[in-house]
Amino acid sequence: MFILFFTAYEFYNGSITVNNIFLHKIAGIFLLVVTFIHILIRRKKLRKLTKEFFNIFSSNKEVTLDSDMDRLIYSLESKSLEELCTIFNITFNELNEIFTQNSIFYENPQQTLIAVSKQNSYKIFAIIVKIIEHKSC
C-alpha cells in the first residue's frame, strides 16, 4: 500500500520512470491478490453483511444486526414461563424470585415470554439475561 502511495506521489510530481511504473503495477496486482484472498477467507461474513445491507434497503424485511441474539430471542419468545423453567433447568420458585427481584410481573405460569415483556415494558433479551445471570450464580 505504501508503494502504491509513493509511486502515485512520484507520478504526481512528474517523476515517471519505468521502474516507478513497474513498482506501481506490481503493488497494485499484489493488493488485488491480497484482497481476493481476504474475500475468500471472510466470505461468510461478507455474505452476512451483504444480506443485512439488502435488508436495510428493502422495506419488507426485518433487519437483523446480531443473528445469534435474534435466534435466541425468536426461539424463546413463544415459550411459556413453565417451559422456560425446564429449558434453563430451574424451578418455578427460582423464576418467581428472579422476576420479583427485577420487578417483572406476570399473570400465570402459562403466559409467554413475549406477553410478559410487553406487560412490563421489558425487552425479551433483558429477561433472558436476568435468568442466565441467576443461573450462573
Mean pLDDT of 121-136: 89
**pLDDT higher than threshold 80 for residue 122:** yes
Are 131 and 81 found together in one domain?
yes
66 found inside a domain = no
Are 87 and 131 found together in one domain?
yes
pTM of the model: 0.54
59 found inside a domain = no
87 found inside a domain = yes
15 found inside a domain = yes
Give the range of the structural domain holding residue 90, as residue numbers without chain letter. Answer: 77-136
Report the domain count for the chain.
2
Higher-confidence residue: 60 or 70?
Answer: 70
Q: Quote the pLDDT of residue 66.
A: 63
Q: How many residues does the chain have?
A: 137
Are 37 and 82 found together in one domain?
no
113 found inside a domain = yes
